[in-house]
Amino acid sequence: MPAARQKREERPELRVQRLGPFGRMPRRSVVLVRPEQIHPVARIAHRQSGLTIPERVIFDHELVLVVKGTGHWDIAGERRPFAPHDLLCVPPFVPHSFCADERGPVEHIAVHFDFAENLPPTDKGLDARKPFRVRFTHGLRIPRQRRLFQGHRIERALTTILNEHASGGVLGAANVSVQLAGVLLALLAEPDENRPSGQAAQYNQARVESVVAHMQAHLARPVTQAALERVARLSSSRLQALFREVTGYPPLDYLRRLRVEEARRLLADSRLSVKEVAARTGFRDTSHFSKVFRRVDGLSPAHFRDALLAGRQP
């Protein structure tokens, strides 16, 4: 193996970061992620001594758990102290640095990851990625810094991730993904002082809720984009943007999913034909119903019913 290639493989961290100094950073594109899309892929999981890193950007996300010692880190023009049991969440393409105090030893656990495979694409390598940021639907955010405590479930999960990643076992990567998904969902569920709030956010949420209520009341009847715009009192572009921000879906796509959800409930009643279920959920015919149902659920309505009823047999 060529010496240069061997050196790169021995130091994988070189493939996930770039050191400063940086000039004007390019604008980051937005990757919208729904919570159910989180199927994380971990690239690096290690425990190391020291936590002094010059200014850099990383090409994926990183969780840093401070195990021992104190210091500070600078990110996005803000200086924050860190101490044992602090969990630091570092986003991609945001310049940051770490500086450990010299008064005592510092240890940390670091995990580099993406929220899902190829999100955004990595086919040309992480270092070829263009600047991006992940934004979650429903106003959810992962706090930049979170104080845990000894024995906290997130700390235990990160230790498990570290051990499973190092094991190289057949199920290691799957176990890492499961544990990491739990950590990320737990962080998303935490209150965040930076989460959108106030009258504007409540007003936007209320508008989306009014549109959804209109959809649910008219599942069996035709619903047009124009009708939804009238209910929301918004332009087409603003309604599209707001609906994606809150739900992760365009309005009419969300309506189709509501109809499929109701269809699943009705298919449990064997007295109703597939044609009747289609009519009750607003599909123009059984062919259209089957096409949409299969696209959302992966099964035809008939196969879904067969599997559902077979599972209920004693």
Position 261 scores a pLDDT of: 86
Of residues 37 and 191, more confidence is placed in 37
The pLDDT tens digits of the residues spanning 246-260 come to 777 889 998 998 899
Position 122 scores a pLDDT of: 81
Spell out the CATH class of 198-312: mainly alpha
The pLDDT tens digits of the residues spanning 154-197 come to 888 999 999 888 887 778 889 999 999 999 998 998 655 444 44
Position 98 scores a pLDDT of: 96
Position 297 scores a pLDDT of: 81
Position 167 scores a pLDDT of: 80
Position 311 scores a pLDDT of: 63
Instruction: Delimit the domains of the chain by residue range.
Output: 3-188, 198-312
pLDDT at 13 over 60: no
From 108-122, 235-249, 255-269, the region with the lowest mean pLDDT: 235-249
The pLDDT tens digits of the residues spanning 55-107 come to 999 999 999 999 999 999 999 889 999 999 999 999 999 999 999 998 888 99
| Average pLDDT score over the chain | 85
Of residues 313 and 182, more confidence is placed in 182
pLDDT at 203 over 80: no
Position 312 scores a pLDDT of: 59
pLDDT at 27 over 60: yes
pLDDT at 139 over 50: yes
On whether the CB atoms of residues 20 and 56 are closer than 8 A, the answer is yes
Phi and psi of 188, rounded to 5°?
A: -65, -30
First to last CA, the chain: 61
pLDDT confidence bin for 202, thresholds 50/70/90? low
pLDDT at 278 over 60: yes
Domain 3-188, classified CATH 3.40.50.410, yes or no: no
pLDDT confidence bin for 228, thresholds 50/70/90? very high
Position 102 scores a pLDDT of: 84
**Does the predicted model carry a pTM greater than 0.75?**
no
pLDDT at 112 over 80: yes
Position 199 scores a pLDDT of: 58
Position 200 scores a pLDDT of: 60
pLDDT at 290 over 80: yes
Position 12 scores a pLDDT of: 45
pLDDT at 14 over 70: no
